[in-house]
């Protein structure tokens, strides 16, 4: 992988990179298409990274469909599918770990200890191997995208990071490889998270500014769905991801719920228009 990238760079070819854990869906496809448009060559990595799963999580049953994933990549004009095995990425004796402490502390980090050090380590390794000019990450995993931006800055990793908007089903459910675990009844209940986030965004747009009040509004909505339990719902600063007492100009509404054994994540970034100032550019936009 590294030799191929070096050769292309010498030839002046630009490399776009989309890291994934496979079981590719239309969300991944949107990232691949964005990379295809922007770069000469596209690399998609498929690696179910063991270090980002906790001991009681779904590593062994995480959907693996390498054959189908390769077909999708071929159809999308991907140049390289990089699908290393575990020993190639973590040879015996490897010990270095990358941590991004402040951004990892809350939300997903609280629910899944060690998850983000696994993510930060594998992303650092993949970016070092692939040496992309630009990489694409999904807004669907907002905290992950914020952490990747931070580590790329802190570790002086070359290449741009672009965060792509979340791709959703018609009823608003964010596409995820884990949605296949949902039964028909659970699938019907799943859009409640998006609806709650939308209600939070609507409250903000219509003048509500108190973080706790907006949060309670979202909690009430999810509570109407008896088979959903809330992991967290939060009104946060889009950069630090700390909860906001009062929203000034922007907030990210973060949420995670459980339906049966399935954990669903989603978020909405909201810019509040003030009369005196133009809205600030969102964190994830590359302009």
Q: Spot the catalytic one: 28, 164, 217, 284.
A: 28
Considering only the stretches 23-31, 61-69, 82-90, 243-251, report the one whose residues sit in contact with ligand AMP under the rule CB under 6 A.
23-31
Least distance in Å: CB of 90 to ligand AMP? 17
* Residue in 125, 164, 263, 284 binding ligand AMP, rule: CB under 6 A: 164
Complex with ligand AMP: residue 30 or 190, whichever CB lies closer = 30
Compute CA 59 distance to the chain's CA centroid, rounded to the nearest angstrom.
18
Annotation says 28 is catalytic = yes
* Residue in 117, 131, 143, 166 binding ligand AMP, rule: CB under 6 A: 166
Least distance in Å: CB of 60 to ligand AMP? 17
Least distance in Å: CB of 207 to ligand AMP? 30
* Residue whose CB is nearest to ligand AMP in the complex, by number: 138
Considering only the stretches 80-88, 93-101, 159-167, 263-271, report the one whose residues sit in contact with ligand AMP under the rule CB under 6 A.
159-167
Tokens standing for residue 194: 């998006």
* Residue in 41, 103, 167, 241 binding ligand AMP, rule: CB under 6 A: 167
The string of DSSP letters for the chain reads -HHHHHHHHHTT--EEEEEE-SS--HHHHHHHHHHHHH-SEEEEEE---GGGS-TTSSTTTS---HHHHHHHHHHTT-SEEE---HHHHS-TT-------HHHHHSTHHHHSTTHHHHHHHHHHHHHHHH--SEEEEEGGGHHHHHHHHHHHHHTT--SEEEEEPPPB-TTSPBP-GGGGG--HHHHHHTTHHHHHHHHHHHHHHTT--BHHHHHHHHHHHHHTSTTEEEEEEEEE-TTT-PBPSB-SSEEEEEEEEEETTEEEEEEEEEE---SSSPPPPPTT---
Complex with ligand AMP: residue 34 or 251, whichever CB lies closer = 34
Considering only the stretches 67-75, 132-140, 217-225, 251-259, report the one whose residues sit in contact with ligand AMP under the rule CB under 6 A.
132-140
Considering only the stretches 91-99, 124-132, 136-144, 202-210, report the one whose residues sit in contact with ligand AMP under the rule CB under 6 A.
136-144
Active-site annotation, residues:
28
Please give the residue ranges that form the binding site for ligand AMP (CB under 6 A). Answer: 20-21, 27-28, 30-31, 137-138, 140-141, 164, 166-167, 174-177
């Amino acid at each position: 992988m590294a030799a191929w990238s070096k050769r292309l760079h010498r030839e002046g070819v630009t490399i776009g990179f989309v890291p994934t854990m496979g079981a590719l869906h239309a969300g991944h496809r949107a990232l691949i298409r964005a990379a295809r448009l922007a770069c000469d060559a596209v690399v998609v990595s498929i690696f179910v990274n063991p270090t980002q799963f906790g001991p009681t999580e779904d590593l062994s049953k995480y959907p693996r469909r390498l054959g189908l994933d390769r077909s999708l990549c071929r159809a999308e004009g991907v140049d390289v599918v990089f699908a290393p095995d575990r020993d190639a990425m973590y040879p015996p004796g490897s010990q270095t770990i990358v941590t991004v402490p402040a951004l990892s502390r809350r939300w997903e980090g609280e629910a899944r200890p060690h998850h983000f050090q696994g993510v930060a380590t594998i992303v650092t390794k993949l970016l070092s191997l692939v040496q992309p000019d630009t990489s694409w990450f999904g807004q669907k995993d907002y905290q992950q995208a914020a952490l990747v931006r931070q580590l790329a800055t802190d570790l002086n990793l070359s290449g741009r990071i672009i965060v792509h908007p979340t791709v959703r089903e018609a009823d608003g459910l964010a596409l995820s490889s884990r949605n296949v675990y949902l039964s028909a009844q659970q699938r019907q209940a799943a859009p409640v998270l998006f609806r709650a986030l939308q209600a939070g965004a609507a409250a903000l747009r219509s003048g509500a500014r108190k973080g706790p009040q907006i949060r309670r509004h979202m909690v009430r909505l999810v509570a109407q769905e008896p088979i959903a339990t809330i992991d967290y719902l939060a009104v946060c600063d889009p950069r630090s991801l700390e909860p906001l007492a009062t929203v000034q100009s922007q907030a990210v509404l973060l949420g995670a719920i459980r339906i049966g054994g399935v954990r669903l994540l989603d978020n909405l970034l909201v810019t509040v228009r003030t009369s005196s100032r133009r809205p600030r550019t969102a964190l994830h936009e590359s302009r």
